[in-house]
Structure 1
Amino acid sequence: MFVCLFIVIVFLMYGVIPTVMIRSFSLRIYKKGMNGIALTFDDGPDPIYTPQLLDLLKKHHVKATFFVVGSKAKKYPHIIKRIDEEGHAIGLHHYHHISNWILLPFFVEWELKKTADVIEEITGKRPVLYRPPWGHFNLFTLFTQKRYKTVMWTYILGDWKASLGANRLYERLKNCRKDGAIIVLHDSGSTLGADEEAPKYMLKALERFLKENNDIRWTSADEW
Structure 2
Amino acid sequence: MIVSVTAFYGIIPTLVMRPMFFRGCRSVDGRKEQVCLTFDDGPNAIYTIRLLELLKKYHVRATFFVVGERAEENAGLLKRMAADGHLIGIHHYRHLSNWFLTPYGTRKQCEKAADTVEAITGARPVYYRPPWGHINLFLPLEAHSFRVVLWSAILGDWRIKLGKERLEQRLFHHLKDGAVICLHDDGENLGADNDAPENTIEALEQILKKTTGQYQFVTIDEMYQNRSARVSYKHLIH
The alignment's TM-score, normalised by the length of structure 2, stands at 0.89
Q: How many residues align?
A: 216
User: Which residues of 2 match residues 34-53 of structure 1 at below 5 A?
Assistant: 34-35=26-27, 36-53=34-51
Matches of 1:107 and 1:34 in 2, distance apart? Answer: 35
User: Which residues of 2 match residues 47-196 of structure 1 at below 5 A?
Assistant: 47-196=45-194
Q: Which amino acid aligns with 2:95?
A: H
- Superimposed CA distance per residue, residues 28-77 of structure 1 (whole angstroms, 9 cap, x where no aligned partner): x1111343100000000000000000000000000000000000001110
Matches of 2:205 and 2:94 in 1, distance apart? Answer: 29
Query: Match for 1:30 among 22, 43, 53?
Result: 22
Matches of 2:215 and 2:119 in 1, distance apart? Answer: 34
The alignment's TM-score, normalised by the length of structure 1, stands at 0.95
Matches of 2:25 and 2:82 in 1, distance apart? Answer: 21
Percent of residue pairs identical: 49
| Greater Cα shift, 142-151 or 201-210 | 142-151
For 2:2, the equivalent position in structure 1 comes to 7
Q: Is the 8 A contact 1:33 1:221 kept in 2?
A: no
Q: Report the CA distance between 1:146 and its aligned residue.
A: 2.4
For 1:3, the equivalent position in structure 2 comes to none
Q: Is the 8 A contact 2:14 2:136 kept in 1?
A: yes
Q: Which amino acid aligns with 2:196?
A: A
Matches of 1:8 and 1:210 in 2, distance apart? Answer: 44
Matches of 1:119 and 1:34 in 2, distance apart? Answer: 29
Matches of 2:67 and 2:103 in 1, distance apart? Answer: 18
Q: Is the 8 A contact 2:106 2:143 kept in 1?
A: no
Matches of 1:127 and 1:84 in 2, distance apart? Answer: 11
For 1:217, the equivalent position in structure 2 comes to 216
Q: Which amino acid aligns with 2:164?
A: A
What secondary structure, in the 3-state scheme, does the structure 1 residue paired with 2:61 have? Answer: coil
* 5+ residue gaps, structure 1: 1-5
| Greater Cα shift, 61-70 or 33-42 | 33-42
Matches of 2:158 and 2:109 in 1, distance apart? Answer: 23
Tell whether 2:199 aligns with 1:198: no
For 2:231, the equivalent position in structure 1 comes to none
Aligned-residue CA RMSD (Å) = 0.8
* 5+ residue gaps, structure 2: 28-33, 225-238
